[in-house]
Amino acid sequence: MAELQKDPMTRKDFLGFGILGAITGAILTIPPVAFVLGPIIDTDVLGESDVPNGPDDWFEVGSITDLKEEPVAFRVDFPVNQTYGDRAIQEESGLSTEEFVVESAIWVSWSTEILSDGSYGESRRPAFLDNYNGGTLSEEQIQEVQGALNVLSSSCAHLGCPVRWITKEGEGEFLCPCHGGIYNINGEYVGGPPPRGMYAYTSEVREDGKIYVRHEFDSGGDLGPQEPYVI
């Protein structure tokens, strides 16, 4: 009797091809599906972090009576609105949206004339402050103080490391410990990798002599205000 012809594909081969096909299908399908669902994943699963920045969101930095000849570092805690999942559902359910703060160091210095060799000339600190120990400022005094202040972010304009004020032989500079960025007392670029000077906050001085900031950088020019990055 003639021998039956054997199928060249074994059961093991058949199952192997099936598994390989499933893996290939998954590799081809996952990226487009992730692309389509990306916005939903971002909004509904990861949530959002945001510092409120409405017209009334000003944060106290400190008093002008605390300022010195050299820059002074103040700490400001910006409240963060954190949403988990869908913002509308969180707000409807009355869950707290202000759960933590972003601690930020802000350097405040008196605007200073920079001479052609880079050394410091006259400070623009208003003379009336010699006899000021608090109290109500006139509109004119407010304008004078406001125009003479540098209110600077401590985050280096290169990659964000906190800069420090270092004084050497009578004159100081802001130095970045990470890659050696250097800025002068006005926060202007002096040397190293940063592509620009230090960021200045949108700030104002009020009649009680206190300095306030919004959570935004005043980039000047046509760019308008920029929001600092919140992790």
Closer residue to ligand FES, CB minimum distance, 75 or 196: 196
Q: Which helix (H) or strand (E) holds 6?
A: none
Which stretch in 17-25, 75-83, 175-183, 221-229 sits in contact with ligand FES by CB under 6 A?
A: 175-183
Q: Check residue 61 for interaction with ligand FES (CB under 6 A).
A: no
Interface residue with ligand FES among 102, 114, 142, 178 (CB under 6 A) is 178
Between CA 52 and CA 99 the distance in angstroms is 13
Between CA 190 and CA 20 the distance in angstroms is 60
Which stretch in 48-56, 103-111, 177-185, 200-208 sits in contact with ligand FES by CB under 6 A?
A: 177-185
User: Residue 160 Cβ, how far from ligand FES at the closest point, in Å?
Assistant: 6
Measuring CA to CA, which residue among 152, 131, 159, 136 is closest to residue 205?
136
Between CA 163 and CA 105 the distance in angstroms is 10
Say how many residues touch ligand FES, by CB under 6 A: 12
Closer residue to ligand FES, CB minimum distance, 73 or 161: 161
Which stretch in 84-92, 141-149, 154-162, 204-212 sits in contact with ligand FES by CB under 6 A?
A: 154-162
Number of CB atoms found within 10 A of residue 184's CB: 21
Between CA 16 and CA 163 the distance in angstroms is 60
Q: Check residue 194 for interaction with ligand FES (CB under 6 A).
A: yes
Q: Where are the alpha helices (DSSP H) in the chain?
A: 11-41, 87-92, 139-146
Which stretch in 28-36, 153-161, 199-207, 213-221 sits in contact with ligand FES by CB under 6 A?
A: 153-161
User: Residue 14 Cβ, how far from ligand FES at the closest point, in Å?
Assistant: 59
Measuring CA to CA, which residue among 184, 161, 154 is closest to residue 172?
184
User: Residue 175 Cβ, how far from ligand FES at the closest point, in Å?
Assistant: 9
Measuring CA to CA, which residue among 52, 162, 181 is closest to residue 107?
162
In the complex, the residues that contact ligand FES under the rule CB under 6 A are 156, 158-159, 161, 176, 178-181, 192-194
